[in-house]
Copies of this chain bind each other. A is one copy, B any other.
Amino acid sequence: MSLQAPSRPDLRQEVHDAARRARIASRALALLPTVAKDQALKSAADSIVANTEQILAANAEDLKAARAVGTADAMLDRLALNATRVEGIAAGLRQVAGLPDPVGEVLRGYSLPNGLQLRQQRVPLGVIGMIYEGRPNVTVDAFGLALKSGNAVLLRGSSSAWHSNQALVEVLRSALRAEDLPVDAVQLISADDRSTVTHLIQARGLVDVAIPRGGASLIDAVVRDAQVPTIETGVGNCHVYVHEGADLDVAERIVLNSKTRRPSVCNAAETLLVDAAIAGEALPRLVAALQDSGVTVHLDANEDHLRREYLAMEIAVAVVDGVDAAIAHVNEYGTGHTEAIVTNNVAAAQRFTDGVDAAAVMVNASTSFTDGEQFGFGAEIGISTQKLHARGPMGLPELTSTKWIAWGDGHIRPT
């Protein structure tokens, strides 16, 4: 995928103008008390439910266009809304209203030897650019998390969801207007040209962070071309390593859950690593269990199999010789998302958790626990697989920066 499509200068202007409006809105959002933000979130939730009909009509347009170009059923399902799904989207906003406000939290604070009083506190990032595919619910989720954390958000969704996104954003902006909050807290960026992604991720000084959510090629293109800071999310080539010290009942349960619970999400396992020491017994049993569950098992996995994020009922299998070989394999082929070991051996578990370079490492637990809700965040904007700023599920605190504030009474620094 390339984002280097010839750019239309009017679109660049359009994106930059939106970003400038977002910046202005963000200054006001940063100062809002929690109650005002929560009230707006609840009011937006009510408006979404009240406008269900209009939202579904817009969604029907998108679905019609998608069907006309022969979109696959799985994609149509991701795009489709109905009254229950709309209720669910509104419920998400109410849930965010109930979460603690990260803004203003003091992370560190102390008096310096000279009496200067110093504290580091959380402040909003400012303007967030979201680039995403498919699901219209991301539009509302991103708005809710951004607003609660005091940020303005620029949404560059998929063109396939344009009408749905437009209807949703219109409802959100009306709700903001009714609450006397800046409507430019949320703006939808034109999706009819790929160049708007480029303009958004190159708007230095106007956009504080770009968060791509989608397939590996989208994320790769965004990270490569971005000139604003980005957070890589969600590509998960996750492994389950069954160590020789594993209880095979536990191993079977964890392998099956990691692979089959929801094969299309990023925390699903894509490769099973079996230790050579127990391969004779474990391998046939685990492979049979996977196949019985309908999983296609790539037993003689080649390089391509091992690098693949299937996101489907498929899994690669490799035999590794000991925990160090497992760690080396994971660090070579993994995407730094979630890695699991099944073992009753403390030393092996410790070595694996220490040596594996990933956002999350599970000992005797399914890879599917890597998820903001599961981790107790209430909601997440994505799962970061990079090491800067945030790693793993990102909730509200991950959408903030910090500011140092010092109070003195005429303090100067000696030369």
Chain A positions within 8 Å of B, measured between CB atoms, are 27, 30-31, 110, 112, 116, 118, 120, 123, 125-126, 204, 208-209, 223-224, 227, 229-231, 247, 249-250, 253-254, 256-257, 261-262, 331, 349, 353-355, 357-366, 368-370, 374-376, 386-389, 391-392, 401-413, 415
| Residues of chain B within 8 A of A410, CB atoms compared | 247, 249-250, 253-254, 364-365
User: Would you give the shortest CB distance from A164 to chain B, in whole angstroms?
Assistant: 27
Contact of A358 with B403 at beta-carbon distance under 8 Å, contacts A204-B223, A364-B408, A374-B413 already known: yes
Assembly of this chain: how many copies?
Answer: 2
CB-based contact B359/A403 at 8 Å: yes
Pairwise interchain contact A413-B118, C-beta atoms closer than 8 A: no
- Residue on B with the closest CB to A228? B223
Interface contact A401-B374, CB-CB below 8 Å: no
In the bound complex, what is the Cα–Cα distance between A254 and B355 (angstroms)?
Answer: 50
Known: A331-B27, A406-B363, A408-B363. A391 touches B387 (CB 8 A): no
Which residue of B125, B355, B364, B406 is within 8 Å of A387 (Cβ)?
B125
Given B366, B376, B405, which contacts A412 in the complex, CB threshold below 8 Å? B366
A366 to B209 CA separation, bound complex (whole angstroms): 30
Report whether A224 and B227 are in contact in the complex, using a CB–CB cutoff of 8 Å.
yes
Cβ contacts under 8 Å, A365 to chain B: 116, 406-408, 410-412
A112-B376, A254-B412, A369-B413 known; A407 vs B261 contact (CB < 8 Å): no
